[in-house]
Amino acid sequence: MRVPSKKGFIWLLIYSLIGLVVVMLVASLLHLKAVKDEPDFLIGISQPNLNEPRQLLMNNEIRKEAEKHKNVKLIFTDAAENSEKQVHDVQKLMKYGIDLLIISLNDSEKLTPIVTEVYKEIPVIVLGRGVTGYDYSLFIGSDNLSIGKKSGKLAADLLGGAPADIVEIKGAVSSRSVEETSRGFRDYLSNSPSIKADKVIVGDWQRDRAEDELSRILPSSPGVKLVFAHSDAMALGAYRAIDALGLHDVQIIGIDGLDTLNGGFDLVKQGVLSGTVTSPTGGRESIQYALDILNREKVIPKKIILGSHLITQKNAREVEAASDPGQMTSRMDVNTRKTKLGVAVVGSESSWRAANTESIKNAAGQDLNIDLIMQNAEGSQDKQIEIIRNFIKQKVDVIAFTPIVETGWDNVLAEAKAAGIPVILTDRKVKVEDDSLWTTFIGSDFVEEGRRAARWVVEHKPVAGETKIVELQGTAGSAPAIERRQGFDEVLSQNAGFRVIASEIGDFTTESGQQLMSKVLQQGTVPQVVFAHNDDMALGAIKAIEQAGLKPGKDVVVISVDATKLAFQAMLAGKLNMSVECNPLLGPQIIKAAKELATGKEIPVNIITAESIFSQETAKRDVSTRKY
């Protein structure tokens, strides 16, 4: 064996060092390239105030989630409860060059214009209190109506049927979330005539103001036995007022359920509050979805409604144990076996339904961890219930179905819950006594679809004077029919000069649309506008209008919901004027939700799809993008 000389050894060492430096330099350049390839995102967060514990917790959740991503930078602003200042804050954030805006509103009405303006340039995520209209990328909030109903039930249970007065402490008068919460609360209590909830004060979300206002009215209101505050901070103010007056028989419930010092969860455990209903801040989810939006993920919902839970002195300890990661166990590990998903298809009544069914099949077929079992109920509720019962017997992991009508599901859903099988509602919702019988809804906002159709009619008023409208409804008792009509009527009632002269009930088919429209025209009624609850009925109505010797799209304006390819063809032919999109491509979101539920993960209670409006003017440009 030849031993290198001293000089050769030195050169060998030099060559080795040079090689090492080259390797390190290449590695460094590769790392720099990787860093460069990962874009940096600047996200602006506009808060209405930082006095509320809820807003502080929201900021903390946003920071913690953002810290998981080195390429995310945040800028926070505080409007100090001043809407004009919040507008200026947003304008300032835009000058800083933010890539996305996350905003929690001080006043929905005053902030809607600036949100609309920003949305034209960059994505916007709205948290908590919604804006008017649809000009945002994503809304994340709570089901305020449900929170109100849960609060009403708790109030009724606490009072035990005894005659009593309730004081309601609202946050802000002009807030839609406040109105929805109050409506849910009062709707539930309407079944208890001995309980009077006619005393209302405004606390503006502030503990001290709630305390002062309650202290003012309680001495002259001896019948008050319960206070319902729209936030736990105001509930704490109510407790201070009640305690200072030496009252011991007045119970207090709040909203938020924050797990912080003197948050609702803590106050219930201390016995200060009789109960609270959780209302998640959405801070963590806002960053998760912000990155999906900025990274141009394909499936981004329009609205995410987070679930709420009732916390009382009886269940507080159990809730605390269940929320401890060390105590939680998954129903299954998706890495060990496939998720067995049972889907009960409602039927094949329209081209929309065909596209919806195909979307689920395609999404399941592309996921190796999904075992899809799909059966068609062929338009029969009894058959759909039978299919769901068979899924329970087969011990599927998750059940998904589109309810034909809203009612009649309590028993079969209770059976699924007893078997520990989460249920996903798709496209349509149900009306049941116990909302915990289903887990999440994935689909459209039918009320908003009705509103959008009516707004278009108002903006494109076809004639001077009174506009006569014929409405062709979908299946009687179905959520789309009920809610689209609700949204349509809501907007028209706010605008003079519009009258629905006939509202006929169909079944979402072309045949029913043609028959109903023929019936109206044969009665000698010629409307200026026809609003059909789906494209198929609109296409049927168009046939009837043509048979009557009229020109659809000109003599009679025809609008509908769905925006299928057939609707686009009718728009291109000048026969259909406009269609509000109702996106049937729910498959990817259903599969994602099923896999998460199978692992025991809590997911949003409502996942609303993103949708648009299409008219004759844009049909030629947009038809190429239609996938259904």
pLDDT tens digit string along 490-509? 999 999 999 999 999 999 99
pLDDT of residue 327: 39
Instruction: Write b or e for each residue in 137-169: b if 16 or more Cβ atoms lie within 10 A of its Cβ, otherwise e.
Output: bbbbbbbbbbbbbbbbbbbbebbeeeebbbbbb
Nearest Cα residue to 236 out of 205, 259, 278: 205
Nearest to 531 by CA among 568, 499, 566: 499
Q: Answer whether residue 159 is part of any domain.
A: yes
Q: Measured in Å, how far apart are the chain's first and last C-alpha atoms?
A: 77
What's the pLDDT at 382?
Answer: 95
CATH number at residue 71: 3.40.50.2300
Asked if residue 136 belongs to a domain, the reply is: no
Going across the sheet that includes 498-505, the strands are: 498-505, 467-473, 529-532, 557-562, 578-581, 613-615
Region of 574 please: left (phi>0), alpha (psi -120 to 50) or beta. left
On whether both 203 and 237 belong to a single domain, the answer is yes
Residues 464 and 481 in one domain: yes
Q: Which residues of the chain have pLDDT under 50?
A: 1-2, 32-36, 324-335
Whether 411 maps to a domain, the answer reads yes
Whether 192 and 223 map to the same domain: the answer is: yes
In a domain, 427, yes or no: yes
Q: Is residue 288 situated within a structural domain?
A: no
Do both 356 and 435 map to the same domain?
A: yes
* Residues 258 and 166 placed together within one structural domain of the fold: yes
Domain span including residue 548 = 446-582
Q: In DSSP terms, which residues pair with 376 in a beta bridge?
A: 345
If one counts the domains in the chain, the total is 4
Residues 51 and 61 in one domain: yes
Do 551 and 589 belong together in one domain? no
Local structure of residue 220 (DSSP, 8 states): G
Q: Within this chain, do residues 244 and 233 fall inside the same structural domain, yes or no?
A: yes
Note the pLDDT tens digit of each residue in 147-157. Answer: 999 999 999 99
What is the per-residue burial (b if ≥16 Cβ within 10 Å, else e) of 179-192?
Answer: bbbbebbbebbeeb
Q: Starting at the earlier edge strand, list the strands of the sheet with 251-256.
A: 195-202, 164-170, 224-229, 251-256, 275-278, 310-312
Identity of residue 551: K
pLDDT at 35: 46
**Domain end point (choices 128, 162, 185):** 128
Could you say which of 240, 255, 278 is where a domain stops?
278
The answer to the question of residue 45 being in a domain is yes
What is the secondary structure of 550-564 as a DSSP string? Answer: --BTTTBEEEEEE--
**Final residue before a domain boundary, out of 254, 278, 302:** 278
Question: What local confidence, expressed as pLDDT, does residue 434 receive?
Answer: 86
Of 407, 390, 408, the C-alpha closest to 399 is 390
| pLDDT confidence of residue 173 | 73
| DSSP three-state, residue 306 | strand
455 and 578 share a domain?
Answer: yes
In a domain, 620, yes or no: no
Q: Are residues 574 and 468 in the same domain?
A: yes
Please check whether residue 219 lies inside any domain of the structure: yes
Residues 234 and 344 in one domain: no
Query: What's the rounded Cα separation, in Å, for the pair 226 and 159?
Result: 8
Q: Are residues 501 and 381 in the same domain?
A: no
Longest dimension (CA), the chain: 113
